[in-house]
Amino acid sequence: MSMAIRNALKPLSLAVIFVLGTGLSGASNATAPVPTVESVIVGKGIENIQTSATNVQVDPTPQGPAYGGPYGFTANVDGQNVGSITAPVVSGPQNVGNPFWNNGKLLYNSTDGGWRLGSPNANDWGSPTLSDLNTKFNNGVYTFQVNGASIPLKLIGDAYPNTPILTLSGGTWSAGKYVLDVSQSLTITTNAFTAYGSHSDGSIWLGIDGGAYADQFRSTAPASSNFMSLTLPANSLTSGRDYNAGAEFRAVVDLNPNVALAGSYNAAYYSVYTGVLISAVPEPETYALMLAGLGLFGVVMRRRKVSQR
């Protein structure tokens, strides 16, 4: 994704949010922590970037070694201390084949702390077009084998949500970024998720890298609004840094609890994500001094150039 927006937020938006408040598994004296599977998910998603108050487009980032495109397929198993479990295996109507498919065996991603599809990077799949994604990963039933439990999940219906559009206040749009004076607070608000509550479940996620995020599930907060807002107080950001922010709408089309994985959120979903790049700048007085200094430096450089002719 452009400027690594999606990569920066992916551990939250595709994994952690599916852990619905279960506590850390306990350890007794010197015994190893007990692994607890908390989510088994399969999904397809579309990634966008927003470059102005109204302009949202499918992420145009060129394909690279670790980025296949903005149309993604995800097969993940997450939880507490799950690195020690036998590698989960997924089967389903895919046409990618090995080595990426790895016979359906997931790989452990130590950065995310969970099991991911894709050999050798454990980074799931990205396609340059939706038709390419659907050719390689058809809709249908994807079945996971996790800790002896069989979890079939129906990924059907192409129920992609409407595209998130973010409204930001506290700064201004400039050259495709949202520029914010760090002495100002920042508020980010999504538009409405129009199909929220129309499927087996649904969720909204909104966040900015550095740890500030919010998420809600229709199943656990049925009275919640179909949009979300997040406010960062003044001086929450560091001047001179760019921050990745984003929102994701997810339509969960299948839920399949399993007594062998008590408490695990097992789901198939379609999602649409929109990312924004936020540039934090110094407060006006400091910024003015910096510009004055740069202007003086420019005069000196021009004089030197003239004298050397």
Q: State yes or no: pLDDT of 29 exceeds 90.
A: no
List the Cα angle 40/42/48 in 5-degree steps. 125
Using a pLDDT cut of 90, give the percent of the chain over it.
76
C-alpha 223/C-alpha 256 separation (Å) is: 23
Residues with Cβ < 8 Å from 132, sequence gap 6 or more?
Answer: 69, 71
**Residue 212, SS3 per DSSP:** strand
SS (H, E, C) 49-84: EECCCCCEEECCCCCECCECCCEEEEEEEEEECHHH
Is residue 246 pLDDT above 70, yes or no?
yes
pLDDT given at position 285: 52
Q: Alpha helix locations (H) across the chain?
A: 5-13, 130-136, 284-307
Q: Looking at the whole model, is its pTM more than 0.75?
A: yes
pLDDT on residue 221: 87
Side chain identity at residue 270, one-letter code:
Y
pLDDT at 101: 97
Q: Is the pLDDT of residue 299 over 80?
A: no
Domain ranges of the chain: 2-23+37-253+268-284
Confidence of residue 238 (pLDDT cuts 50, 70, 90): very high
Can you tell me the mean pLDDT for 70-77? 98
The answer to whether residue 5 scores a pLDDT higher than 60 is no
Mean pLDDT of 109-135: 96
The closest alpha carbon to 237, from 210, 256, 216, belongs to: 210
Which residues in 175-205 are b (16+ Cβ under 10 Å) and which e?
eebbebbbebebebbbbebebbeebbbbbbb
**pLDDT band, residue 66 (cuts 50/70/90):** confident
State how far the Cα of 104 lies from the Cα of 77, in Å rounded to an integer.
13
- The two structure tokens encoding residue 51: 């470059």
Residue 182 three-state SS: coil
| The token pair that represents 298 in the structure block | 């420019």
